[in-house]
Amino acid sequence: ETGVTQTPRHLVMGMTNKKSLKCEQHLGHNAMYWYKQSAKKPLELMFVYSLEERVENNSVPSRFSPECPNSSHLFLHLHTLQPEDSALYLCASSHNRVSGANVLTFGAGSRLTVL
Amino acid sequence: RKEVEQDPGPFNVPEGATVAFNCTYSNSASQSFFWYRQDCRKEPKLLMSVYSSGNEDGRFTAQLNRASQYISLLIRDSKLSDSATYLCVVNAVMDTGRRALTFGSGTRLQVQP
């Protein structure tokens, strides 16, 4: 496989469920990201793992928990979500350059619906 | 003020038309700039980076005006396949020393036959 692969592509869950989103990249990148995309809003950065350091957006609720076991795999664990968490969750990867541009390659996304 | 601001559109243009999108950014420390394209129900994909001197890729021309803090994208001879949402993306070094990519909400383009 090549590029950035996300599973599942679609997920419907209740507010009491626990589920996980998975992302895998085969590009040799050393940074991985979770973004949230809601209708008519800009992409919102949730978490970044870069050179084994985790950076997070402080506004992300604790019901979202990321895990990055190695530079090729990224998970987003979901627990007791709310209906307003329904959105497209995009994984991305990039090289992490100290200077210069970090061009992102996105996965196809996991569309989450919380009932 | 939004960090990256775009006119949401939609821009409805006929095939063959020339269309231009602008994007303004608020962080003067921004160093890198991009245009991404997102088709309906698909992921964003890099269209082109934007360089200080301006750059062209076929029918697409991107320009940067640092003094006024805006970026533009010009599409000539529009094709039906150009219909998509165009995302302006800015990479700035924050006070923490970390770099962060900030996305605009996107400008929707609909090219009509």
What pLDDT shows up at residue A97?
63
Mean pLDDT of A76-86: 95
Start-end of H helices in A24-94:
none
At residue B43's C-alpha, the angle toward residues B39 and B49, to 5°, is 85
CB B47 within 8 A of CB B98: no
Helix (H) or strand (E) holding A62: none
Residue B69 buriedness (CB in 10 A; 0-12 / 13-18 / 19+): middle
Among B6, B25, B48, B99, which would you mutate to test the A interface (most chain A Cβ atoms within 10 Å of its Cβ)? Answer: B99
Q: How confident is the model at residue A52 (pLDDT cuts 50, 70, 90)?
A: low
Taking only the tens place, the pLDDT of each residue in B53-109 is 889 999 999 999 999 999 999 999 999 999 999 999 998 776 666 777 889 999 999
First to last CA, chain A: 33
Which residues face B65 on adjacent strands?
B70
Quick one: pLDDT band at residue A56, thresholds 50, 70, 90?
confident
Average pLDDT of the residues in A10-31: 93
Q: What is the DSSP secondary-structure string of chain B?
A: --SEEE----EEEETT--EEEEEEE--TTEEEEEEEEE-TTS-EEEEEEE-TT-EEETTEEEEEETTTTEEEEEE-S--GGG-EEEEEEEEEE-TTS-EEEEE---EEEEEE-
User: Taking residues B9-24, what's their average pLDDT?
Assistant: 95
Span B4-11, mean pLDDT? 92
Q: Are strands B70-75 and B60-65 parallel, antiparallel or unpaired?
A: antiparallel
Q: How far does Cα B10 stand from its chain's mean position?
A: 14
B90 shares contact with chain A (CB less than 8 Å): no
pLDDT at A89: 97
Q: What percentage of chain A reaches a pLDDT higher than 90?
A: 67
Interface contact flag, B34 A103, Cβ < 8 Å: yes
The residue with greater pLDDT, A73 or A56, is A73
- Over 60: is that where the pLDDT of A37 sits? yes
The answer to whether residues A29 and A93 touch, using CB atoms and an 8 Å cutoff, is: yes
Per-residue pLDDT, B69: 94
Determine the Cα–Cα distance for residues B7 and B105; give it in Å rounded to an integer: 8
Average pLDDT of the residues in A59-75: 92
Q: pLDDT confidence of A74, banded at 50, 70, 90? A: very high
Nearest chain A residue to B47 by CA distance is: A103
Predicted local distance difference test score (pLDDT) of residue A59: 82
Which residue from A15, A40, A33 is spatially nearest to A102, judged by alpha carbons?
A: A33
Are the beta carbons of A41 and B105 separated by less than 8 Å? Answer: yes
Alpha carbons B78 and B4: distance in angstroms, whole number = 25
* Residue (of A40, A31, A27) closest to B9 by Cα position: A40
pLDDT of A111 > 80? The answer is yes
In angstroms, rounded to a whole number, what is the distance separating the alpha carbons of residues B76 and B84?
A: 15
Cis status, amide bond into B10, omega within 30 of 0: yes
Q: Can you give the pLDDT at residue B93? A: 72
| Chain A neighbors of B48, CB-CB under 8 A | none
